[in-house]
């Protein structure tokens, strides 16, 4: 069998999380079935920190091509028209424009070395493939779901360009849920649902005593962390005494900055709080509840039937009230609990949630089975499908 070289194009911080899971499964599958293969990864938004562990574990198979700059706002534009415009312009001049030349040069270098492309996210990976690579493309459409549609128009939340690229520029499009598969098929897109691309872990039902807090991966993580600590001070110790509070920071955040900020925040604090970086999945197995300013991580918890509280702040990059309302529709108001926009509101929501935790956990479990059909092997199933289609082409 001739060696295969695949390029992964990941279009976002959350997409990096999905892509890192898929990359690990691809490497494992090719090793088990002795398929000679190498994988190149280009993170289009951030520095690709999510891929470092896989690269260190499989240095002979995985290489990361990292653009010189990260997008300050990570490609997320919420808030007023002024805020959206300001953040979009900032991302363009401090990330998109200086990175574009680098990315295009790298695509030109590797064009004749790769056999296929795997896109993670939205229309950007298939667009880059059409313009500069023209390779067979397998698309993981994790940025789109039928569950967020409002008026239920055919192209709502998708658009004509994305439909065209998915329909004519992808050999296979993998959806995040069954309803999206049916929607895409009606639009003439070759779509398939093989399970949610979530973490492959088993919950420890007998020892789920951990509450995981997520400050987020964008530049406002410090403000989010301070928000948590103000909320902690307003929570009666009685409600948290049976739980372990653990903060998981993004792998892309500077570790020294974390240590410096925590040193000041932990002074005179009456809770014991542990923290780690980049190992979110390892803590999910013991988690009773997740609280965070994070998008993909919240969905991954819901996939496992773990309820989540998501607060928001005025002028926040990742989350605002409208975002929460949309995400509540995505998570069917069963796995996502709005946390309010002040520390006092978060403290009250946290108290009420803990008092009724079993009910929230049951609702989240039902949501997981109903929407994602309880398919916990999505990553490996997608990896197997991609490799078999590639080998048999």
pLDDT in tens, 192-209: 999 888 877 777 666 788
Pick from 155-159, 265-269, 304-308, 348-352: least confident: 265-269
Closest CA to 327 of 353, 296, 350, 355: 296
Alpha carbons 48 and 63: distance in angstroms, whole number: 11
Given CA atoms 374, 52, 106, 47 in this order, what sign does their dihedral have? positive
**What per-residue confidence (pLDDT) applies to 96?**
84
Rounded to two decimals, the pTM is 0.83
Band of the pLDDT at 371, cuts 50, 70, 90?
Answer: confident
Q: What average pLDDT score do residues 352-359 get? A: 91
Closest CA to 213 of 236, 231, 237: 231
Closest CA to 65 of 97, 39, 83, 32: 39
What does DSSP say about strands 4-10 and 244-249: parallel, antiparallel, or unpaired? unpaired
Alpha carbons 280 and 276: distance in angstroms, whole number: 8
Answer yes or no: is pLDDT of 296 > 90: no
Answer yes or no: is pLDDT of 87 > 90: no
> How big is the chain by its Cα radius of gyration, in Å?
21
Please list, in sequence order, all residues whose beta carbon lies within 8 angstroms of the beta carbon of residue 367, skipping any fewer than 6 positions away: 302, 305, 331, 332, 334, 335
Q: What average pLDDT score do residues 62-88 get? A: 78
| Pair 48, 64: CB distance under 8 Å | yes
Q: What average pLDDT score do residues 46-54 get? A: 88
Answer yes or no: is pLDDT of 78 > 80: no
| Pair 118, 9: CB distance under 8 Å | yes
Closest CA to 316 of 248, 232, 247, 219: 219
């Amino acid at each position: 069998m001739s060696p295969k070289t695949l390029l992964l194009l990941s279009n976002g911080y959350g997409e990096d999380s999905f892509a890192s899971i898929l990359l690990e499964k691809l490497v494992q599958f090719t090793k088990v079935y002795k398929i000679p293969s190498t994988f190149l990864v280009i993170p289009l938004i951030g520095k690709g920190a999510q891929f470092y562990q896989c690269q260190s574990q499989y240095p002979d198979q995985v290489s990361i091509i990292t653009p010189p700059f990260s997008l300050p706002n990570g490609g997320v534009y919420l808030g007023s028209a002024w805020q959206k415009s300001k953040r979009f312009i900032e991302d363009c001049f401090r990330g998109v424009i200086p990175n574009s030349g680098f990315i295009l040069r790298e695509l030109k270098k590797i064009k004749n070395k790769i056999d296929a492309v795997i896109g993670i996210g939205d229309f950007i990976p298939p667009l880059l493939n059409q313009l500069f690579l023209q390779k067979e493309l397998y698309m993981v459409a994790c940025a789109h779901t039928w569950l967020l549609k409002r008026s239920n128009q055919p192209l709502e939340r998708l658009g004509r360009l994305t439909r065209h690229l998915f329909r004519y520029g992808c050999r296979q499009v993998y959806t995040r849920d069954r309803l999206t598969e049916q929607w895409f098929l009606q639009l003439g897109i070759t779509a398939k649902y093989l399970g949610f691309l979530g973490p492959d872990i088993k919950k420890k039902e007998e020892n789920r005593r951990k509450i995981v807090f997520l400050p987020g991966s964008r530049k406002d993580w410090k403000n989010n962390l301070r928000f948590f600590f103000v909320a902690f001070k307003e929570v009666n110790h009685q409600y948290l005494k049976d739980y372990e509070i653990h903060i998981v920071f993004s792998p892309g955040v500077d570790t020294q900055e974390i240590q410096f900020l925590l040193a000041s925040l932990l002074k005179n604090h009456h809770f014991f709080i542990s923290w780690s970086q980049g190992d979110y999945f390892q803590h999910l197995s013991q988690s009773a509840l997740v609280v965070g300013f994070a998008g993909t991580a919240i969905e991954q918890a819901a996939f496992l039937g773990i309820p989540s509280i998501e607060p928001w702040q005025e002028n926040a990059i990742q989350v605002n009230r409208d975002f929460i309302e949309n995400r509540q529709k995505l998570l069917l108001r069963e796995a996502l609990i709005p946390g309010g926009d002040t520390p006092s509101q978060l403290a009250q929501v946290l108290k009420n949630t803990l008092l009724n935790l079993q009910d929230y956990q049951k609702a989240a479990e039902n949501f997981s089975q109903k929407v994602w059909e309880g398919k916990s092997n999505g990553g490996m199933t997608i990896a197997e499908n991609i490799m078999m289609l590639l080998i048999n082409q």
